[in-house]
Structure 1
Amino acid sequence: MSSENLRVDVWSDIACPWCYIGKRRFEAGEAAWREAGEGTTPAVDLVFHSFELSPDTPEDFEGDEADYLARHKGIDAGQARQMLDHVTGIAASVGLEYRFDMLKHTNTVLAHELIHFAAAQGVQLEMTERLMRAYFTEGRHLGREDELVALATEIGLDPEEAATALRDHTFRADVLADEAQARELGINGVPFFVIDGKWALSGAQEPATFASALAHAERERSAVPSPVSEGAGS
């Protein structure tokens, strides 16, 4: 990563429906900001950080997503299904097909470890995207090592290395470090974006909001203090 690039850190969970929507909206906002800059905007380094929404979730949850919301979040079953229908519609508006009827609710810590493994190979963004699509659209079980290794292989990672990293929990400390940093920053919900280490945006904001935030960060970077005139005095 170049120091000249604009860094955007985002805390998210692959099992968070708003995180995938937020990712798409950020991408749209970045594209709009870049188009407005007519080729003058800096490159963006998008870095994902781990945040487990439900670290106590078992690998094999009995029931669907509405059951999970009803049992673990205390939400009425009917209201839970209305919420899922609502978020499915919003996902569709940004080109995502959410299939809550197929979704396998599971513990996501291994998926976070795999994202860190992918980051070490320089393909974090590709891995994050693949996992989110597998979870929300394809009904893949992301709590299982074999499923995660298969997805890693799809984006060109070595299956034996991926399996070893997951089996040995090579990147578990990195997951915990991300979560500790989130607590230090007071993050209690995701997605959570930090632009250029200075400006924070919480939630799946509209593309225009992301574009405006990127433009602001760019302007602040290029702002040069006015020099004090020589001989100035009272």
Structure 2
Amino acid sequence: MGKRRLEDALQKMDYPVEVTYRSFELDPTMERDVPYNIYEKLAQKYGMSIEQAKSNCKNMEQMAKKAGLDFRFDSQILTNTFDAHRLVMFAKTKGLMHEMTERILKAYYSESKHIGNYNTLTELAKEVGLDPKEVTDMLANGDLSEEVRADEQTAQEYGIRSIPFFLVNKKYAITGAQPTETFVQSLQQIIDQDGPFTKGNEGIFCDDDGCELPPKG
């Protein structure tokens, strides 16, 4: 949801953007095949009742709907996301990182697909134009694991403990799925503080670590 709202904000500001997604696991210890649902997980993690967890998720579904997203927590399949991150890294090498990320997020939040399952990941990869055999081999061989771990190490160095987290100009942080207008106001304040975006082809660069303004010149 934070990603969608940031994208909406950048469209309103009408600046060219290049987006790169970074790997971050909320729970690296989670199993691939999980014997519990999201409500049980939240209740255990935050010390709340199952009903409270359901209510919180229902509220999030409503917020997602307003952002044009379809979240379905009742049927969501929890899993370890490390291999999904490796697939996104692989897609990046083929120029399809954005498409792969979007497809995985939709599969997880809206379609109740098991994104820790290799067959599921391979099918999703095929849908966005990746070679299924190359994907199968990559997943089986453990390729790009170091790249994912490197991203996660960078997140630790920044002190990131939750997502979404946006680091702007390497010194301003925006955390959480803020309203679109909050993103617009925050980015405008940074422009006022650090100077306008560079005109021409170089626009603002944003990723899940944040947005970086082009050099003044």
TM over 0.5: yes
Unaligned runs of 5+ in 2: 198-217
**3-state SS of 1:26 partner:** helix
Amino acid in the other structure paired with 1:167? A
CA displacement 1:125-170 (0-9 Å, x = unmatched): 1111110100010010001111001001100011111111111121
**Which residue is 2:184 aligned to?**
211
Q: Distance in 2 between matches of 1:212 and 1:92?
A: 23
Structure 1: distance between partners of 2:76 and 2:55: 16
1:127 aligns with 2:100: yes
Name 1:33's counterpart in structure 2: 13
Decide whether aligned partners of structure 1 residues 197 and 123 sit closer, same or farther in structure 2, where only a CA change above 3 A counts: farther
Counterpart of 2:173 in structure 1 is: 200
1:24 aligns with 2:11: no
Write the mapping of 1:78-93 to structure 2, written as runs, cut at 5 A. Answer: 78-93=51-66
Give the partner amino acid of 2:17: V
1:94-117 Cα shifts (integer Å, max 9, x gaps): 011111122101111011111111
Q: With the length of structure 1 as denominator, give the TM-score of the two structures.
A: 0.79
Measured in 2, the distance between the counterparts of 1:107 and 1:170 equals 17
Structure 1 residue 76, shift from structure 2 partner: 1.4
Give, as a single letter, the amino acid of the residue that structure 2 aligns with 1:24: R
Size of the alignment, in residue pairs? 197
Aligned match of 1:3:
none
* Alignment deviations for residues 31-86 of structure 1 (CA, whole Å, 9 cap, x no partner): 1111xxxxxx3x21211111110111111111221122123443211111111111
Instruction: Name the CA distance, whole Å, in 2 between partners of 1:69 and 1:82.
Output: 11
> d(CA) in 1 for partners of 2:72 and 2:188?
35
RMSD: 1.8
Partner of 1:143: 116
1:65 matches 2:38: yes
1:91-106 aligned at under 5 Å gives the runs 91-106=64-79
Secondary structure (helix, strand or coil) at the match of 1:101 reads helix
Q: Separation in 1 of the partners of 2:173 and 2:38?
A: 29
Structure-1 residue corresponding to 2:148: 175
Aligned-partner SS, 2:167: strand
Q: Which has the higher contact order (CA 8 A, sep 6+)?
A: 1
Asked whether 1:55 is paired with 2:28, we answer yes
Contact 1:100 1:136 in 2 (8 A): yes
Deviation at 1:175, TM superposition (A): 0.9
User: What amino acid does structure 2 have at the position aligned with 1:133?
Assistant: K
Q: State the 1:213 CA deviation.
A: 3.4
Paired with 2:195 and 2:144, the residues of 1 have a C-alpha distance of 33
1: CA distance between counterparts of 2:58 and 2:195? 41
Q: Distance in 2 between matches of 1:161 and 1:196?
A: 36
Q: Distance in 1 between matches of 2:183 and 2:12?
A: 9
- CA distance in 1 between counterparts of 2:29 and 2:80 reads 7
Q: In the alignment, residue 90 of structure 2 is paired with which amino acid?
A: F
CA–CA distance in structure 2, aligned partners of residues 216 and 125 of structure 1? 27
1:7-37 per-position Cα deviation (integer Å, ceiling 9, x unaligned)? xxxxxxxxxxxxxx10111111011111xxx
Secondary structure of residue in 2 paired with 1:50: coil
Residue 81 (structure 2) aligned to one of 108, 120, 129:
108
TM-score for the superposition, normalised by structure 2? 0.85
